[in-house]
């Protein structure tokens, strides 16, 4: 498993360095990689419809469906468009609305922002969404796809 994750991290690094990251590089597996340099695999996803976008939290532990208060020492956060499509990661401080990033929560109060990689909203229905992602930042990598129920906000 360590060798596979090392190869995944190396491959992600090379793809990002070459600018050649595409949705074809997203593995058909539960999102996995490293967070804070340690092996990490998604076991639960909470996707909430926030109106214009989805709010997404990925956890390495089992959490109840639609638990917006779920917590884990490490997790991954991002927002995603509600329209199927490919969204390259980028951070543009002059156009925050045009930015797309993924946040690795590496410990309590510690975050690393990934702005290299790609997010792929593969399909969206009234009840479910399928998202693929590939990202890297410092000692953090993630690659895979998941399908989960869309939770509605209760304002």
Rounded average pLDDT per 10-residue block, the chain, 155 residues: 43 48 95 97 96 94 92 95 96 85 94 96 97 97 97 75
| pLDDT value for 115 | 94
Beta-strand ranges (E) seen in the chain are 32-35, 38-41, 44-49, 53-59, 75-81, 85-88, 102-107, 110-114, 116-124, 128-137, 140-152
| pLDDT value for 101 | 95
| pLDDT value for 154 | 61
**pTM for the whole structure:** 0.84
**What is the spatial distance between Cα 36 and Cα 74, in angstroms, rounded to a whole number?**
8
| pLDDT value for 17 | 43
| pLDDT value for 19 | 58
| pLDDT value for 155 | 53
């Amino acid at each position: 498993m360590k060798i596979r994750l090392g190869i995944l991290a190396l491959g992600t690094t090379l793809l990002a360095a070459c600018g050649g990251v595409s949705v074809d590089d997203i593995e058909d597996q539960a999102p996995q990689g490293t967070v804070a340099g340690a092996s990490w695999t998604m076991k639960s996803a909470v996707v909430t419809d926030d109106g214009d976008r989805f709010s997404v939290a990925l956890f390495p532990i089992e959490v109840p469906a639609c638990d917006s208060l779920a917590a884990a020492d490490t997790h991954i956060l991002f927002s995603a468009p509600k329209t199927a499509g490919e969204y390259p990661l980028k951070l543009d401080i002059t156009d925050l609305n045009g930015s797309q990033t993924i946040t690795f929560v590496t410990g309590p109060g510690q975050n690393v922002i990934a702005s290299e990689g790609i997010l792929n909203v593969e399909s969206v229905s009234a009840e479910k969404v399928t998202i693929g992602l590939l990202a890297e930042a410092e000692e953090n990598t993630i690659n895979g796809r998941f399908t989960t129920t869309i939770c509605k906000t209760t304002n």
